[in-house]
Amino acid sequence: MASNLSIALPSGIECHGSTLRIVFYYKGKRYREALGLSPTKQNIKFAAGKRQTILHEMKIGTFNYAQHFPDSKHGFGRPKGQQISQLAAQYIDEVSIDVRRSTLQRYDWVLRDFCKIYGSNRSTDTLSPRSLAQYKRELVNGRSGRTINRNLVTVNAFLKWLFTMEYVPRDLSTILARVKESEPNIEPFSIEEVHDAISNCMQLQHRNIVTLFAYTGIRTGELCALAWEDVDFKKRTLHIRRSTYVDRGMKTTKTDKERHVDLLPPAIEALKSQLLLTDSFPAKEYAVELPGKAKRCEQLHFVFNPKAVRVQKGSDYDYYGLRGIGRIWRSLCDNAGIKYRNQYQLRHTYASWMITHANINISYLAQQMGHADITMVAKIYGKWLQESNKKESDRVWVELSKVHKTTGQ
């Protein structure tokens, strides 16, 4: 497009619409690159200088297309250093199509924290083992090992992406090694404490909630999302196939896998009691978010509905949120005079009871609780496993002794 300026444009500079662009030949091919600058005298001078620099770099063999035009479709080579906070936002935007909302939220706050500690205005050119070591020294202050490691996993994924996209010349994702984590904070409730909590429930629904927690070991989000469509009284099982977000909304389970949980008699009785409270509520359609942001629609009426409790009949929801369950449990602990531990400890309570008192098969327990294998069970509940192993050793000898007596050995 011809220029409308009265100023004569230097060779290789032209106007395209309302902005300037540079024209040059590289390896016999003509290229045009927009600068996004209006055609003022100062900008024209800048454009001419940039073109002369490009021509000089071509002559001496150092021309790097991507450093001059990082957003060009013709670009090759590694782009020049860019602001880390801008690239972090770009990374979040790119991964958003592949991860769920809860995961994306964690990525976002972790990388904002990374930029805050490392320096939001710093360039990718400053990334090095030394600068990342300094970031890690500041990260560990006042944070638990688990939090530090969760942050490092996300930051390392970002560093890997920077290398893959050629924003940095080397892969720095191996520099930030994980730290040693302290033992999991497991403090299960005793049978007496659970019975005290249940006996102090003023609402039947709350009693049923606590009973199901203690005798199934399901996660809080799984209990909130549990629908009557998931309950099979004939087979005495729960079909665990969804969970909830902290701020409401449905998603698949933590591992994205469905499982069937066998029901013990107290859990069956609690569900039968609950049937009278909430089975009559009509089923409604809910969208359940799947991995990759796909969704499935389900007709559900929930096992635990806040509208079934007299003081919550004005609730806007037909299922509990995580915070609501937390408030109920804290109130029950206060009323029963129980040392408060959050309701997730009821999941640990179920596991510890099964290991210590029922001598349960560990693979079966892992399946019941939704773990991929026995690794997490062994890691989290190692203390109770050791105690159970001692009992198992005694049992084995009793059985073996019977055989010895029978054979006369």
Whole domain around residue 269: which residue ranges? 191-345
By C-alpha distance, which of 348, 331, 349 is closest to 340? 331
Residue 404 DSSP SS3: helix
Q: How far apart (Å, rounded) are the C-alpha atoms in residues 85 and 91? A: 10
Q: How far apart (Å, rounded) are the C-alpha atoms in residues 33 and 11? A: 14
Is 218 in the same domain as 265? yes
Token output for 182: 């302290």
Separation of CA 47 from chain center: 46
Burial label for 311, CB within 10 Å (0-12, 13-18, 19+), is: exposed
Is 300 in the same domain as 225? yes
Q: Is 393 among the domain residues?
A: no
CB-based contacts of 274: which residues, under 8 Å, 6+ apart? Answer: 204, 205, 208, 303, 304
| pLDDT in the model for residue 1 | 43
Q: What is the DSSP letter of 247?
A: T
Question: What global pTM score does this model have?
Answer: 0.70
Q: Is 207 among the domain residues?
A: yes
> Which residue do the tokens 């049978």 mark?
191
Separation of CA 38 from chain center: 45
Is 123 in the same domain as 93? yes
Is 231 in the same domain as 113? no
Token output for 293: 């942001």
Is 202 in the same domain as 333? yes
Domains identified in the chain, total number: 3
| pLDDT in the model for residue 387 | 62
Is 260 in the same domain as 298? yes
Q: Is 169 among the domain residues?
A: no
Q: Are 139 and 111 a contacting pair, CB within 8 Å? A: no
Parallel, antiparallel or unpaired: strands 250-251 and 284-289:
parallel
Is 95 in the same domain as 153? yes
Is 269 in the same domain as 332? yes
CB-based contacts of 60: which residues, under 8 Å, 6+ apart? Answer: none
Q: pLDDT tens string for the chain (409 positions)?
A: 444 455 689 999 999 888 999 999 998 899 999 998 999 999 999 999 999 999 999 999 888 887 788 778 877 766 667 889 999 999 999 998 888 888 888 999 999 999 999 998 898 989 999 999 999 999 999 888 989 999 999 999 999 999 998 888 899 999 999 998 877 778 889 999 999 999 999 999 999 999 999 999 999 999 999 999 999 999 999 999 999 998 789 999 988 899 999 999 999 999 999 999 999 999 999 999 988 778 999 999 999 999 998 766 667 899 999 999 999 999 999 999 999 999 999 999 998 888 887 777 888 888 998 887 777 777 777 666 666 555 556 666 666 676 666 555 5
Token output for 194: 């659970």
Separation of CA 294 from chain center: 17
Is 229 in the same domain as 254? yes
Parallel, antiparallel or unpaired: strands 295-300 and 231-232:
unpaired
Neighbours of 122 (CB within 10 A): 15
The residue out of 297, 325, 345 marking a domain boundary is 345
| pLDDT in the model for residue 386 | 65
Q: How far apart (Å, rounded) are the C-alpha atoms in residues 250 and 248? A: 7
> Which residue do the tokens 């190692």 mark?
382
Is 113 in the same domain as 258? no
Is 214 in the same domain as 329? yes
With b for 16 or more beta-carbon neighbours within 10 A and e for fewer, the 148-166 pattern comes to bbebbebbbbbbebbbeee
CB-based contacts of 229: which residues, under 8 Å, 6+ apart? Answer: 283, 298, 299, 300, 301
Q: How far apart (Å, rounded) are the C-alpha atoms in residues 286 and 270? A: 25
Q: Is 372 among the domain residues?
A: no
